[in-house]
Amino acid sequence: MAESPQARSFRVVCPAGQESLVEALLHSQGYEFEPEPVSPWTRRLTKEPRPLGSSLAAFFGLIYIQDRSSMLPPLALAPQNGDAVLDMCASPGSKTGFLAQLAGPDGFVMGNEPNVQRLATLRQNLFNLNLPHTATCGYAGESLPLPDASWQKIQLDPPCSGWGTVDKNPNVMKLWQGDKVKPLVGIQRLLLREAARLLAPGGVVVYSTCTTNVQENEEQVRWATQELGLIPEPLAPFEGFVFEDPLLPGCEGTLRVDASRSSAQGFYIARFRKEGDSPPPEPVSAMRVQGIHRQALRGPCADPDMLPDGEVALFGSAAMFLPQQALNLLPESFRWRGYPLGKASRGEVRVSPRMRCMMPPADQCAAGALNVEEPELISGLLSGQSIDLARGAYAGSVDASLPETGLYFRGLPLGRLRIKGRRALWAER
C-alpha cells in the first residue's frame, strides 16, 4: 500500500453540509487526507491506497482531482453566491467547476472551449460533477458573439507554454522556446482584448497561466494596463503557498507561485478591474425555448424542485436544463448548450442515474431507498452485480414494483438504481 509521494490535492464537490459524508466515503476505501488552508472545499492527500481517480467518490463526481495552483484563479476571481461568470478558455473544466461551486446554485457559469474534443471533455466533467447551473459553448475565445460590457466576472486562463508543469511534462521547455512562444503571446493579447470588451465597467477579470515565462505573464499585465486600460488589483497571497516577487516593475500584487516550495505547479495570477460604474445591463433578445414542465422529471427518488431556477427543454431526444441567468444573459443568436438531464422518448423523460443533484434525503424517497453502509456493495453494483430486493439484508427496504430507487452511502446521495425483476442494478442510460 503506497503512501502518496507528493502533495496531490482535490476538491470536494457536493452541497454544503455533505462534506463529512464524502470524506467518510473516501475513508471507507482507505484514503487519508488533510484540509488545505486555501479553501474549505479543498483537501490534500496523505495516503492513497489506489489511484484516487478510481475511487467511488471520483466515479460519482463527489471529488475533483486538481493541482493546488490551479485552484487559485477561481479564488482570486472570488465570485459571490448568485454571480454570473464567463470562463473564456474552460476545458477540461477544473476552474469552471470550482467557479460554479463558488457562485452556488443561484449563480451561473458559462464555459467556452473552441476545440471540439476538449469541449466534449469539459461537458463530461461538468455533467459528472452535477453542476446544472453551468452551460457550455464552442466559440473562438477572441471573438465571442456576446454584447459589449455584458459580464461582471470573467476567468481567462489562455493557452500558454506550460513551463510551470515541467515536473510532469519534462519536454515542455524544449517545445516552447524563443520564437515558438510568439504565437501564444499574440493569442493571449487577443483574448485579453476580448475580455476587456466583454467586461462591464466595475467588473473583474482574472488572467492566469501555468507558465513561468515573463513574456506571457508580467509583460502581458503591463500590456493590458497600457493598451486596454485595465486596472491591476493587488491580490493577497494565499495561505499554504510561497510566492516569488514579480519579475517586472508595475506588476506588484500579481502572484507568481514558487512551484518547489509550494509543492504545486508554477502558476501566475493577475486580477484586473475595468474602470467605471456598471450601468443597468442592456436587454437582449433572449433565446426562446419550448419548455416542458419540470414535473415530468419526477420519480421515486428524483425531485425536480431541487434544480435551480431555469427551464427544462427538449432538443431532439435530449432533455436539457437551461439556467435562468443564461436565458436572461445570452442573445437569441448565441449557440450554447445547457446541462443534460437525460433522454426523452415517447413523451417520457428518463433522467440520468447520475443526477444526484435531484435526489432528496434518503428518508424522503417516496418508496424507500437503498442506504448502504459499506463501499464493497457499491463497487459490486458498478461491476455489474445486482441486489436482491426480495430477500436478504435489503428485503422490504424498497418498493420493488417501481422502475427505480435511490442509492445512498450512509445518507450521501450517489445515484439512482434501475429495478428489474425485483433486483436493483446500476444502469447508465
Tell me the β-bridge partners of 413.
408
Give the active site residue among 210, 301, 357, 365.
Answer: 210
Cβ–Cβ < 8 Å for 371, 362: yes
Cell representation of residue 83 = 454571480
Phi/psi for 185 (5° steps) reads -60, -40
Predicted local confidence at residue 137, as pLDDT: 98
| pLDDT tens track for 337-381 | 999 999 988 778 899 999 999 999 998 887 789 999 999 999 999
- β-pairing, 268-273 vs 386-388, is unpaired
Above 80 in pLDDT, residue 127? yes
Above 60 in pLDDT, residue 72? yes
Mean pLDDT calculated for residue range 322-337:
95
Of residues 213, 220, 234, 218, the one with CA closest to residue 186: 220
> ∠ CA(392), CA(20), CA(382), 5° rounding?
40
For the chain, what is the mean pLDDT? 92
Predicted local confidence at residue 174, as pLDDT: 55
Give the chain's length.
Answer: 429
| pLDDT tens track for 374-408 | 999 999 999 999 999 988 888 888 998 899 999 99
Cβ–Cβ < 8 Å for 47, 69: no
Mean pLDDT calculated for residue range 61-73:
97
Cell representation of residue 292 = 416542458
| pLDDT tens track for 248-301 | 999 999 999 999 999 999 999 999 999 987 666 666 655 666 778 898 999 999
- Strands of the sheet with 339-345, listed across from one edge: 291-292, 310-315, 318-323, 339-345, 348-351
Measured CA to CA, the distance from residue 336 to residue 35 in angstroms comes to 36
Cβ–Cβ < 8 Å for 134, 339: yes
Active site residue 357: no
Q: Which residue has the higher pLDDT, 164 or 253?
A: 253
Structure letter (DSSP) for residue 236: P
| pLDDT tens track for 175-189 | 556 677 899 999 999
444573459: which residue's cell?
A: 329
